[in-house]
A = this chain, B = another copy of it.
Amino acid sequence: MAKEKKHPRPKAEPPKGFRDYFGAEVTERQHMLEKIAEVYRLHGFDPLETSAVETVEALGKFLPDVDRPNEGVFAFEEDDTWLALRYDLTAPLARVAAQYRNDLPFPYRRYAMGPVWRNEKPGPGRFRQFYQCDADTVGAPSVAADAEICGMLADTLEAVGIPRGDYIVRVNNRKVLNGVLEVAGLAGEDKDAERGIVLRAIDKLDRLGEAGVRALLGKGREDESGDFTKGAGLGDAQADVIMGFMDAKRADGPATVARLRELVTGSAIGLDGVTELETIASLLAAQGYGPDRIVIDPSVVRGLGYYTGPVFEAELTFEILDEKGRPRQFGSVAGGGRYDDLVKRFTGQEVPATGVSIGVDRLLAALRAKGRLTGETQGPVIVTVMDRDRMADYQAMAATLRQAGIRAEVYLGNPKNFGNQLKYADKRRSPVAVIQGGDEAARGVVQLKDLILGAKLAEEATLEEWKSQPAQIEVPLTDLVEETRKLLDRHQ
């Protein structure tokens, strides 16, 4: 008992909010990452891989939710330095751009892919580790860089299997929002807190609706659980300006731009932002990205505090069924924008930067929800073991198949019960089993069992079909590769 207590059995489970990925889940993600990287690379972006761990100092205070500065990360202290797992791929890029500023080519176009970690409350479909795939251009002040990223984002979505019409890239500009805030009387350093609340309120329009946002702009809002969120304390006239901004989208780009220009009248930064939006729209139009793919949409603000100019978001527009079977829009799968101050934190010098982050796991979920990824893969050919002492022969058969490029393995469990070997082959989704007992060995032949056909026949075949399509054939050992390939080709 004392010994049991000293070494209690550990629980066989991952930490809360983490999960494991098996088989096709892994290869489908890898495949998607490669497709995305290919588009990024084609646009001139070079790969960068930083480590999972950064100093908390380098990560800075730019956390996804500005309500909780310096929370939201997994942090630990080593040698008197606080380290943390990266929560995105942007903060490490800012560090790299500063560290290697004398060696890198500028503008520096880089892409990065890999997991990021968020110390947030896990929920259904919400994990603490997930993949991002980012592309950023550091050192390009012109909005041509932003336009390029938006166009590339559209190309990328199509490359991974989201057809045109099933997505929309929406573009806005923080400067326009700042102009609107100025017009609403919320300029000035002393209004920092109010601006933060307004920003987050706008970002929640989808979820809370107009009334909810209006409450947050005013006195505040009590949610269903009874929790109260403090509002920005704006008067009705001020709130009207903000609400008007969110509602500024018109039938086409030029009309929206015209409406925005009205709204920011009198604000220099606001007008600057509107002009930038116009430039982006015309650059994209010249390359053939029409409003079926990219639109100006004032309701996009992005939650992050560090954006300084254009912001954009890609949304999937098709409906899926939620956990309760209700249809809903899939929503955002990527976003980004211009952040001209992130590198400055390190160097003190202005370094313009813009980029996009694709939520790879969400994108995979979308393709699965639409049935465009099956999550299934074919298993290997299984060489069964009829005679334990002839393991070397079975291994040689598997090796022969592999040399011909056919995925194959020898059954390595306890071979006593042959039924278990076929059950294993079934569980592995194996297409073919190779069988050779002593009798077959003496005659120099093997049995090939077509497991896919066998399963199909067992389910639905008539007697005639059984006879005409033998699911098991005997072939000379010397024809092992050729005959196996024939069976595999049957089910291509």
Encode A177-203 as 1/0 by CB contact (under 8 A) with B.
000000000000000000000000000
Nearest chain-B residue to A10 (Cβ)? B57
Q: Report the nearest B residue to A137, measured CB to CB.
A: B412
Which of B20, B288, B408 lies in contact with A96, CB distance below 8 A? B20
Residues of B near A96 (CB, < 8 A) are 12, 20
Cross-chain contact of A379 among B44, B55, B379, B409 (Cβ < 8 A):
B44
CB neighbours of A53 from chain B (8 A): 14-15, 18, 74, 85, 117, 128-129
The chain B residue with its CB closest to the CB of A288 is B399
Contact B14 A286 (CB under 8 A): no
| Residue A451 interfacial (CB < 8 Å) | no
In A4-24, which residues have CB < 8 Å from any B CB? 9-16, 18-23
When chains A and B are docked, how far (Å) is the Cα of A412 from the Cα of B117? 32
From A75-83, A164-172, A204-212, the one touching the partner chain is A75-83
Contact of A48 among B26, B46, B100, B395 (CB under 8 A): B26
Does A265 count as interface, using CB distance less than 8 angstroms? no
Inside 8 A of A60's CB, which chain B residues have their CB? 10
B-side contacts of A99, CB under 8 Å? 12-13, 20
Chain B's nearest CB lies how many Å from the CB of A32? 14
Given contacts A10-B345, A140-B412, contact A76 B78 (CB under 8 A): no
Are B14 and A95 closer than 8 Å at their CB atoms?
yes
Chain B residues contacting A57 (CB-CB under 8 Å) are 10-11
Any B CB within 8 A of the CB of A141:
yes
Mind listing 30 A-B residue pairs with CB under 8 Å? A10-B55, A11-B55, A11-B57, A12-B346, A13-B58, A14-B51, A14-B55, A15-B51, A15-B53, A15-B81, A20-B99, A22-B46, A23-B46, A23-B47, A42-B408, A53-B74, A74-B83, A78-B119, A105-B424, A106-B424, A144-B391, A144-B395, A144-B412, A148-B409, A148-B410, A151-B399, A286-B393, A286-B395, A286-B396, A287-B396
Interface code A389-416, partner B: CB below 8 Å = 1, 0 otherwise? 0011101100100100101111111100
Q: Is A162 an interface residue (CB 8 A)?
A: no
> Interface majority SS on A: helix, strand, loop or mixed?
mixed
> A54 in the interface, Cβ–Cβ < 8 Å?
yes
Please tell me if the beta carbons of A409 and B58 are within 8 angstroms of each other in the complex: no
Chain A positions 192 through 236: 1 when the CB is less than 8 Å from some CB of chain B, otherwise 0: 000000000000000000000000000000000000000000000
Tell whether A317 is near chain B: CB-to-CB under 8 Å.
no
* Interface residues on chain A, size class: 35 or more
Count copies of this chain in the complex. 2
Would A52 and B51 count as touching, CB distance under 8 A? Answer: no
Is A27 engaged at the interface, CB distance under 8 Å to the other chain?
Answer: yes
Residues in B neighbouring A380, C-beta threshold 8 A:
43-44
Task: Please measure, in the bound complex, the distance between the C-alpha atom of A395 and the C-alpha atom of B280, giving whole angstroms.
Answer: 12
Asked if B283 and A18 make an inter-chain contact with CB atoms under 8 angstroms apart, the answer reads: no
Q: When the two chains form their complex, are residues A21 and B44 in contact, meaning their CB atoms are under 8 A apart?
A: no
Q: What chain B residues lie within 8 Å of A396 (beta carbons)?
A: 286-287
| Partner pick for A141 among B81, B119, B140, B414, CB 8 A cutoff | B414
If A10-B55, A26-B49 touch, does A286 touch B392 (CB 8 Å cutoff)? yes
The interface residues of chain B lying within 8 Å CB-to-CB of A44 are: 379-380, 382, 407-409, 428
Closest to A430 in B: B44
Chain A 352-410 residues near chain B, CB threshold 8 A = 377, 379-380, 382, 391-393, 395-396, 399, 402, 405, 407-410
B147 touches A395 (CB 8 A): yes
In whole Å, how far is A425's beta carbon from the nearest beta carbon of chain B?
9
Say yes or no: is A309 at the interface (Cβ < 8 Å to chain B).
no
- When chains A and B are docked, how far (Å) is the Cα of A106 from the Cα of B79? 44
**Contact residue among B78, B147, B395 (Cβ-Cβ distance under 8 Å from A283):** B395
Question: Which B residue sits closest to A348, measured CB to CB?
Answer: B9
Bound-state CA distance A83–B10 (Å) is 13
Name the CB-closest residue of B to A98: B12
The answer to whether residues A79 and B16 also contact, given A346-B10, A392-B287 and a CB cut-off of 8 A, is yes
